[in-house]
Amino acid sequence: MAVNEKDVEAIVKQILSSMGSVAPAAAPSAGGAVPSKVRVAMLTEIGKMVVKEFPMPEVGDDDLLVKVEGCGICGTDVHEYKRDPFSLIPVALGHEGTGEIVKMGKNVKLDSAGKPVKVGDKIVTCMIFKDDPKITMFDLNKKNVGGADVYGLLPDDDVHANGWFADYILVRGGLGSTFFNVSDLDLDSRILIEPCAVLIHAVERAKSTGILKFNSRVVVQGCGPIGLICVAVLKTLGVQNIITVDGNPARLEFSKRLGATDTVNFKDYDGAEGMAKGIEEKWGGNLADFAFQCTGSPAGHSNIYKFIRNGGGLCELGFFINGGDATINPHFDICSKEITTVGSWVYTLRDYATTFDFLKGAKDIGLPIKELITDKYTLDQVDEAFQKAASMTGLKIAVVNK
């Protein structure tokens, strides 16, 4: 069929004109429809979590919309629930969360470690560097989360979807958010990433003293989730001699399954001096080369020095909030024994990335790390979940979406 040149020219002009008026491409999204509302668990007053509905936030060019799969309840969440020490009420809590990307802005290509991301990938968030958004994980051996924010501890705003106790969370690139693609880990492992990163950081701080070695005798005081994870990290690194100290027989027994070689129930001894003698007996007259204080108790901090040999080391990581003053004798506890002490508070981005390999390593040597999650609740049961966590009758309590 003959083609008229004028007709072709007209068609080309029409196509070019229509191309200029095409709207920008929408952010890639999952096959399922995203609802118009987001359900968020808000701490509305001390001791009260309420699930509220808000308009689903818009996804900007640098943002991610994540469908929440689960989130652990941290001791910090419980502190906020019981007395609001950070003065954040009303606040969307939850920073031990993970979920699936369902929509993403056009500028989002890589996670904070340079790994490609796409709709359908599983992620966790880490720090928010709102004052230093260009910082990367490779700059962060010297800067921990103390210089940043985290999702789940942000002041409420018009977005509302700021915490992981929700059915969706908006990860905002404009805030300097960091996140990691963890699609190769199962849900329970992903829920445990944040608390495990706390211990990766603490053990790295301990190693900086030069005292913690493969054959070190190590005391871990406190067998809550933090202390138990500490045992697992030490065992995964090859430390062979670990004594745990706690007053709960079931937790002490579980610590053995995670790598402890012996235990001390403080209820069986008369004060710190008695506990120290108990430790010496178990190690043939020796005290600890290194100790980790994980309780958050000022009395626990006061006691821990008695368990450490002359020239030994201590990592104090139990105080994530102001827990009060501890009483020590600087001469007997520190100076005359020449104790090397390091403090540890939360983690760095690099520690977060290291944690992924720790979880895989712990699994490879058969540590039942995922059994730390003892109770699971739905989002509608979030207040009940917080009451359970506050009762300290479980270990890691999680809110999991179906």
pLDDT at 220 over 60: yes
139 and 260 housed in the same domain:
no
**Using 50, 70 and 90 to split pLDDT, how confident is the model at 176?**
confident
Query: Cα separation of 208 and 202, whole Å?
Result: 10
- Confirm if 294 and 318 have CB atoms less than 8 A apart: yes
Are both 173 and 51 inside the same structural domain? Answer: yes
> What pTM was computed for the model?
0.89
Q: Each residue of 205-239: b (16+ CB within 10 Å) or e?
A: bbbebebbeeebbbbbbbbbbbbbbbbbbbbbeeb
Q: Is 153 in the same domain as 228?
A: no
Indicate whether 200 and 239 sit together in one domain. Answer: yes
Mean pLDDT across the stretch 190-202?
A: 97
Q: Quick check: is 97 in a domain? A: yes
Say if residues 351 and 201 touch (Cβ distance below 8 Å). yes
Q: Does any domain span residue 200?
A: yes
Angstrom CA distances, 342 to 140, 276, 293, 322, stand at: 18, 21, 11, 17
Confidence of residue 129 (pLDDT cuts 50, 70, 90): confident
> Does the residue 173 lie in any domain?
yes
Residue 26 has pLDDT above 90, yes or no: no
Residue 27 confidence class, pLDDT cut points 50, 70, 90: low
- DSSP secondary structure string, 152-191? TSS---SS---SSSBSEEEE-GGGTEEEEE-TTS-HHHHH
pLDDT (0 to 100) of residue 275: 97
Predicted confidence at residue 3, as pLDDT, reads 42
42 is a domain residue: yes
Would residue 62 count as lying in a domain?
A: yes
CATH code of residue 137: 3.90.180.10
179 with 106, same domain: the answer is yes
Residue 1 has what pLDDT?
Answer: 43
Residue 365 three-state SS? coil
172 and 211 fall within a common domain: no
Q: Are residues 235 and 108 part of one domain?
A: no
Q: Pick the residue with more confidence: 29 or 167?
A: 167
Percent residues over pLDDT 90 in the chain? 80
Is the same domain home to 241 and 332? yes
Q: Are residues 180 and 133 in the same domain?
A: yes
Query: What's the domain count of the chain?
Result: 2
User: Is 288 a residue whose pLDDT tops 50?
Assistant: yes
CA distance 287 to 281: 9
Domain region containing 121: 37-184+368-400
pLDDT, tens digit (0-9, with 9 covering 90-100), for 307-350: 999 999 999 998 888 889 999 999 999 999 999 999 998 888 88
Q: Once rounded to an integer, what is the mean pLDDT over residues 244-252?
A: 98
pLDDT of residue 281: 97
